[in-house]
Each structure stands twice: as C-alpha cells, then as structure tokens.
C-alpha cells in the first residue's frame, strides 16, 4: 500500500475544507524529507505537476552546509534548480498534522527532465529496473530502532547535548510495563502511521533504557524505503508534539547499546519467493545462494551506504547484538547476515549491519546491486558460520568511515552498477564528513589531555 489518497480524493478533501496543506517532499542524501508546503488549493489546481528546489539539496550534509568538491552543483555553477516531480502514487493523509497531506517527489534535471542519477530514490529505482529485466521483484522490510528522551529537542539542544536522560530507567527489551510508560508517544506513532497508509505491524521495547523498535510489514523495495523514511520523519514530529526528543544516532552514548535498522530481503518471481527451494536442507534456492554470496563478497565495498557517518562505526562492538564480521549464519544474531525462516517459504536474508542512521534507499540499492552481481557471476556461497560470530573467522566490518570511503571509491562493482559520477559524488560526501570531524576538538580529547598531556 503505497499511499491512501488519489488526486481526485485530494481535490474532494480540499473542496470540503478537510485538507488545506500539502507537503511535497524529496528524500535527500541523508534520508530526510525536504521540500515545500503548498496551499492545497494551489496544489490541486496545477502544483501537482511539478515544482522546483535548489540543487544543493543533494550535495549537502547534516548541517545543510554547501561543501566544495561536488561536480553536480557548486558555487561556480551558481546552484541552479532541480525539478521536484510528485509521485502521486505516494500521496497520503498526514494524520498527526492538522488538515495536511503529503506526497513524495522524484528529482529530475531542470533541463532535460531525466532523473538525477545520485538521487536516492533514482538509485534504488535503477536497481529495481535491473531486477525487473531479470524477471524478479525485490521484497524487503526494515526494522527501525530509536531512543526516546525525557527532554524536548529544544531543551537538549540548548543544554549543549549534555545530561541526556532516556525516558525509562532500565532495559526494556520486550518489557510491557516499561513500554506502557511510553504509550503516550508510541500509540499515536503506530496509529497515525497506519492511518497514513504505512503498514505498521507493531512496536516493542528494545535492549536498552528508553529504546524502542517499530516494525513495518514487508513490501516492494521502493514502498519499503518510502515507508521507512516517512515513519522516521513522523516519529520525530510526533515525539516533538509530546514534548520529547528521539534520536536515530546509532551510538549516542558509548556505555549504551546502539540502534540498528536491520534489512530483510528476498527476490520474488510470479508471486512466489524465488529464494525458496524445498529440496534444499535450509530451503535456499541456488539463486538465493548466489545473491547471498554477492552480499558477502561486496559488503566492505557498499559499507558506506549502510553506515554513512563517523558515529555509525561506534556501534560495531562485540556482545552488543551489533555485528563485527561480514559473515552469514542460520538464525544467529551475532552474524552480519542472518538466514531467517530456514526451510520455509518465508526464507530470507536479514542484513544486521545498517544502523538507524542509514538512508534506506541507498542501503537497499547497494545491497541489491551486490546481490545482482552475485547472481550474474554465479558466485558460490560459503558454509554458514556456527556459534559465536564475534569469536569466529571471516571478513571484519570496516572499522571506520575512512576505510569505508576507500572501499566505496575503489569499488568496480558499484561504479558499474550506479555510474562513476554517482560513486564519486558519495565518496565526496564521505570525505566531507571526515574533514568536518577531523577539525573538531572533542570532549574526550580535552578530558583526557587537558591536565595530563
């Protein structure tokens, strides 16, 4: 279910005075919704055809800076326009905001109206088109973890992001009583998202104080990425309306476990799971084994798309349910890739590497590209790891953003799948993130060396 409003539905709601605002949103490199608020009457009168935005929106960072070094847009070229083309199939009500609807937009070139290659939605669509040509559909699901805090966003910001207090006092993993205390936030999140056409299944407490997880039903890959991005945005807005802050930072405190966003994936053909083979001991088809082998082989190369920031890599620690190795295992939460529902028609692979800061379009597109390459090259799948993967052998996850940037830049597979310009663009984004971090003096450095150095 991609959306729950047609253009005719919207026109009727506008005429009836039920909707007066339409959010037209693109998804930026960081996975955030950016765009404009339209007077609904103007939107239905013609604004639904297209609108424009500055092209720096796909060449910026979390601070909305204008870094140099991007070929697609810069001061020399004058920061021109992109076209925002509403995808009317994504149009929906926004129940947590008064009289408001939302539509996601594709990003097109202002001159020839072709998709911008490094736009996250375009990158995912490109890999889905490759799969379609092979006769397959990608079915995916994401799990979204986050922390809720006692304080509001404004109070935390004004405090300098110090003395952060989670909303609960102890580990609330599957804990009904503890999560009851958070229902003034979680109940409207579940209900509002469902009313917006997001197929929410439920929520649960996660393995730390104040940590929640939202589960959304599997769907086609593009719908899943859309649902993930809208849900993440909604969680922030709904928590803000209740006077609380939430964070999707993967590791907000080095003494706490991190927040992940696991990605489940399978390929389907003619309405059936093409990963399933009842004759196989684990129910894995040859296609699935090739796909899995592609994920394993190229994981270091697409790591940036799973972990795009300096902080992302702080989460990969032993004994925290975050993986440290790009290996696979059967129903084993210590491995980077977990085989789920072995022996059944629901057999699938869960990638446990991404953090809650991932851009779902980029992460899913990169994994699909790796899986497609595994199928094309008929890559053989290694035997599954048994036991504690933290203690086992196998390729380690890149330890930091600098290493991930290097493997991204040098990846022939990714350059073939997305184009040189796209990979160079995101390599520059990673490089800029490192430049910004490297010039900052951290609290850790001061506390460690102020007196003793």
Burial code (b: 16+ CB inside 10 Å, e: under 16) for 170-202 equals ebbbebeebbebbeebbebbbebbebbbbbbee
Q: Taking the CA of residue 288 as centre, how many other CA atoms within 13 Å lie in the half-sphere pointing to its CB? A: 29
pLDDT at 1: 46
Q: State whether residue 214 is helix, strand or coil.
A: strand
* Cβ(365)–Cβ(126) below 8 Å: yes
Rounded to 5°, the CA angle 315-359-342 comes to 70
Report yes or no: 304 and 408 within 8 Å, Cβ to Cβ.
yes
Whole-number Å distance between alpha carbons of 146 and 234: 13
Architecture of domain 7-115: Roll (3.10)
For the chain, the structural domain boundaries read: 7-115, 127-444
Alpha helices in 162-220 (DSSP H): 176-180, 183-195
Q: Which pTM value belongs to this model? A: 0.95
Q: What is the pLDDT along the chain (453 residues), one digit of tens a residue?
A: 467 899 999 999 999 999 999 999 999 999 999 999 999 999 999 988 999 998 999 999 999 999 999 988 888 888 889 999 999 999 999 999 999 999 999 999 988 899 999 999 999 999 999 999 999 999 999 999 999 999 999 999 999 998 899 998 888 888 889 888 899 999 999 999 999 999 999 999 898 889 999 999 999 999 999 999 999 999 999 999 999 999 999 999 999 999 999 999 999 999 999 999 999 999 999 999 999 999 999 999 999 999 999 999 999 888 777 887 888 889 878 888 999 999 999 999 999 999 999 999 999 999 999 999 999 999 999 989 887 778 867 688 888 999 999 999 999 999 999 999 999 999 999 999 999 999 999 999 999 998 999
Smallest CA-to-CA distance from 1 within 197, 138, 226 is with 197
Fold of 127-444: Creatine Kinase; Chain A, domain 2 (3.30.590)
- What's the confidence (pLDDT) of residue 4? 87
What number of H helices and E strands is found in the chain? 13, 16
Nearest to 17 by CA among 38, 36, 37, 40: 40
- pLDDT score recorded for residue 394: 67
Query: Which residues are CB-neighbours of 86 under 8 A, at least 6 positions away?
Result: 24, 48, 49, 50, 51, 103, 104, 105
Contact 251, 314 (CB under 8 A): yes
The pair phi, psi for residue 340, each rounded to 5°, is -110, 150
Q: 437: burial class by Cβ within 10 Å (0-12, 13-18, 19+)? A: middle
């Amino acid at each position: 279910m991609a959306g729950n409003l047609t253009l005719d539905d919207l026109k009727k709601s506008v005429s009836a005075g039920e909707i007066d605002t339409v959010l037209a949103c693109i998804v930026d490199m960081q996975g955030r919704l950016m765009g404009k608020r339209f007077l609904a009457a103007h939107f239905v009168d013609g604004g639904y055809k297209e609108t424009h935005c500055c092209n720096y929106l796909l060449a910026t960072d979390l601070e909305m800076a204008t870094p140099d070094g991007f070929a697609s847009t810069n001061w020399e070229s004058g920061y021109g326009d992109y076209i925002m083309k509403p995808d009317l199939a994504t149009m929906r009500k926004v129940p947590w905001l008064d009289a408001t609807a939302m539509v996601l937009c594709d990003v097109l070139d202002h001159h020839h109206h072709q998709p911008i290659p490094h736009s996250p939605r375009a990158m995912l669509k490109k890999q889905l088109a490759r799969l379609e040509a092979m006769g397959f559909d990608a079915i995916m699901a994401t799990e979204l973890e986050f922390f809720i805090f006692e304080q509001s966003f404004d109070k935390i910001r004004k405090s300098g992001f110090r003395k952060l207090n989670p909303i609960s006092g102890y580990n609330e993993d599957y804990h009904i009583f503890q999560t009851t205390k958070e229902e003034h936030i979680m109940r409207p999140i579940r209900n509002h998202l469902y009313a917006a056409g997001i197929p929410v299944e439920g929520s649960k407490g996660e393995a730390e104080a104040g940590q929640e997880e939202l589960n959304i039903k599997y769907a086609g890959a593009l719908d899943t990425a859309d649902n993930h991005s809208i849900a993440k945005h909604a969680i922030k807005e709904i928590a803000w309306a209740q006077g609380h802050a939430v964070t999707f930072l993967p590791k907000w405190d080095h003494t706490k476990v991190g927040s992940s966003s696991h990605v489940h994936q399978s390929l389907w053909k003619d309405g059936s799971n093409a990963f399933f083979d009842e004759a196989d001991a684990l129910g894995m088809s040859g296609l699935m084994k090739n796909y899995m082998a592609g994920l394993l082989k190229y994981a270091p190369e697409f790591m940036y798309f799973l972990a795009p920031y300096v902080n992302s890599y702080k989460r990969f620690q032993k004994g925290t349910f975050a993986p440290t190795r790009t290996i696979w295992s059967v129903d084993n939460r210590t491995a980077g890739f977990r085989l789920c529902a072995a022996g059944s028609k629901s057999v699938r692979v869960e990638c446990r590497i991404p953090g809650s800061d991932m851009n779902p379009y980029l992460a899913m597109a990169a994994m699909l590209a790796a899986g497609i390459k595994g199928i094309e090259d008929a890559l053989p799948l290694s035997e599954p790891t048994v036991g504690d993967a933290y203690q086992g052998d196998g390729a380690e996850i890149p330890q930091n953003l600098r290493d991930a940037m290097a493997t991204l830049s040098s990846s022939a597979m990714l350059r073939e799948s997305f184009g040189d310009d796209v990979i160079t663009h995101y390599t520059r984004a990673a490089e800029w993130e490192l430049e910004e971090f490297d010039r900052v003096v951290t609290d850790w450095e001061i506390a460690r060396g102020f007196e003793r150095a």
